Amino acid sequence: MTRPVLVQGVTYHGSTPTSLGGLDNVFGKHISAEALRQHILWYKRRFNIAGLEETLRRARQGIKPPAKTLFIVFHDGYFGNYEIAFPILKEFGIKATFFLTTEFINGRFRFWVDQLDAALKHTGKSEITIMTPAGWQTYSLQDEKYRLEVALKLRRHLKALPVKEFTAELQQIVTELGFPALDDVPLLGKHETALNWDMIRQMSAAGMEFGSHTHHHLIIGRQTEATAREEMLISKALIEREVGRECELFCYPNGQYPSDGNDVTDAIAAELGYKHTLYMMGPYNLIHRKTFRLTGIAFGEESNERELHHKLSARRYYQRKLTGQWIWPWKKNSL
């Protein structure tokens, strides 16, 4: 394998039996069974779909991936990955990689975005007033449209906060919405719940791959080095213990460079034994023997075939290459 080979990556999160919208499915991150099946049919007509871990292991051995190779990954560890996505993947004979937020597994933890969306969905309040960097702000909650707009604004606000301020701010918002504690917020629905380790072992036995998505879904690039190391180490150890296989892959929550992951955090990952890290900076990867960083692009319920075609177009890749608009903010892709 003397020259890098173009490999593309697509990312999903949860999956559901039927289509959901609004606060139940902000950004369409839970894809319905029918939409996922249509996406996979579209991929199969155009790409060679292969497991990410398997593709990289072979590349390290000098084995060139087939032309038009594409990998599929799922983030977080939602129950729908077992109930919906897993049977569809088996139906088409496809391997996918699932990145687990290990504290979420077995229902030990809820994602804060789900708690926020659920609090806005279930609140009896008609408006909310909270402190923001711009001062006290009052938001209308009179209908679902307004509540969805508020959810998006609050996500942006909370993501920018330092960790020490984040939990207190989230709790303040939830209290203003009428819930004394985060644990008092009802679920959005079954689709918000997590996989358990028995499900994960069944999926692994069927050929699915598993990697780490941290222990608590913290944005690693915004943590201290000690916290970053702990999040990577705990999740890796748990996956290896429960699945019985080496955990080679680490995926950054949020996935932007250098804010969410960077050279320092990649070096920590390598030191802990991860062989590759995954960002969310677009679909294009040049795979070679020493590839360490990779990237994918997120699709979901709202992604139609026109969007898939546009964002995965080889012509778009070559246009970017020719004009110097390369996706990566670094020059080399190895440690």
Q: Provide the residue type at 325 as one letter.
A: Q
Give the per-residue pLDDT at 333.
72
Using the predicted structure, report yes or no on whether residue 322 has a pLDDT greater than 70.
Answer: no
Give the per-residue pLDDT at 187.
97
Flag whether 39 is in a domain.
yes
CA 3 and chain centroid, separation: 29
Quote the domain boundaries for residue 39. Answer: 5-108+194-323
Give the per-residue pLDDT at 210.
98
Of 38-52, 151-165, 222-236, 274-288, which gets the smallest average pLDDT?
151-165
DSSP letter (8 states) at residue 330: S
Vertex 172: Cα angle to 170 and 177 (nearest 5)? 95
For 163, residues 6+ apart whose C-beta sits below 8 A from its C-beta are 218, 222, 223, 227
Give the per-residue pLDDT at 289.
93
Of 9-23, 27-41, 159-173, 191-205, which gets the smallest average pLDDT?
159-173
Nearest to 97 by CA among 106, 105, 89: 89
Flag whether 125 is in a domain.
yes
Give the per-residue pLDDT at 161.
79
Percent of the chain residues topping a pLDDT of 70: 95
Domain check: are 233 and 128 in the same one? no
User: What is the pTM (predicted TM-score) of this model?
Assistant: 0.94
DSSP letter (8 states) at residue 36: H
pLDDT band of 81, cuts 50, 70, 90:
very high
Domain check: are 180 and 199 in the same one? no
Flag whether 329 is in a domain.
no
Flag whether 159 is in a domain.
yes
Neighbours of 332 (CB within 10 A): 9
Nearest to 313 by CA among 5, 8, 4: 8
CATH of the domain at 315: 3.20.20.370
Flag whether 129 is in a domain.
yes
Flag whether 330 is in a domain.
no
Q: Which residue has the higher pLDDT, 157 or 71?
A: 71
Residue 62, SS3 per DSSP: coil
Give the per-residue pLDDT at 137.
86
Residue with tokens 């778009």: 316
Q: What pLDDT, in 10s, does the model give residues 199-215? A: 999 999 999 999 999 99
Domain check: are 283 and 308 in the same one? yes
Kindly report the three-state secondary structure assignment for every residue of 235-303.
HHHHHHHHHCCCCCEEECCCCCCCCCCCHHHHHHHHHCCCCEEEECCCCEEEECCCCCEEECEECCCCC
pLDDT band of 136, cuts 50, 70, 90:
confident
Give the per-residue pLDDT at 239.
98
DSSP characters for 110-175?
Answer: --HHHHHHHHHHH---SEEEEEETTEEEEEE-SSHHHHHHHHHHHHHHHHTS-HHHHHHHHHHHHH
Using the predicted structure, report yes or no on whether residue 328 has a pLDDT greater than 70.
Answer: no
Nearest to 295 by CA among 4, 9, 67, 5: 9
Distance CA 284, CA 5 (A): 10
DSSP letter (8 states) at residue 81: I
pLDDT band of 135, cuts 50, 70, 90:
confident
Domain check: are 283 and 315 in the same one? yes
Using the predicted structure, report yes or no on whether residue 31 has a pLDDT greater than 70.
Answer: yes
Domain check: are 148 and 214 in the same one? no
Domain check: are 174 and 65 in the same one? no
CA atoms within 13 A on the CB side of 26: 23
Distance CA 44, CA 261 (A): 31
Give the per-residue pLDDT at 332.
62
If you average pLDDT over every residue of the chain, what do you get? 93
Give the per-residue pLDDT at 165.
86
Q: What pLDDT, in 10s, does the model give residues 229-272? A: 999 999 999 999 999 999 999 999 999 999 999 999 999 999 99
Domain check: are 174 and 34 in the same one? no
Longest dimension (CA), the chain: 62
> How many domains does the chain divide into?
2
Distance CA 43, CA 47 (A): 6
pLDDT band of 51, cuts 50, 70, 90:
very high
Domain check: are 84 and 216 in the same one? yes
Distance CA 192, CA 16 (A): 10
Nearest to 151 by CA among 183, 182, 120: 120
pLDDT band of 331, cuts 50, 70, 90:
low
Flag whether 221 is in a domain.
yes
Domain check: are 53 and 78 in the same one? yes
Last residue of a domain, one of 184, 218, 233: 184
Strands 127-132 and 97-100: unpaired
Q: What pLDDT, in 10s, does the model give residues 82-134? A: 999 999 999 999 999 999 999 999 998 999 999 999 999 999 999 999 877 77
Give the per-residue pLDDT at 326.
55
Distance CA 255, CA 217 (A): 11
Domain check: are 243 and 299 in the same one? yes
Question: E strand or H helix at 31, and its extent?
Answer: strand 30-32
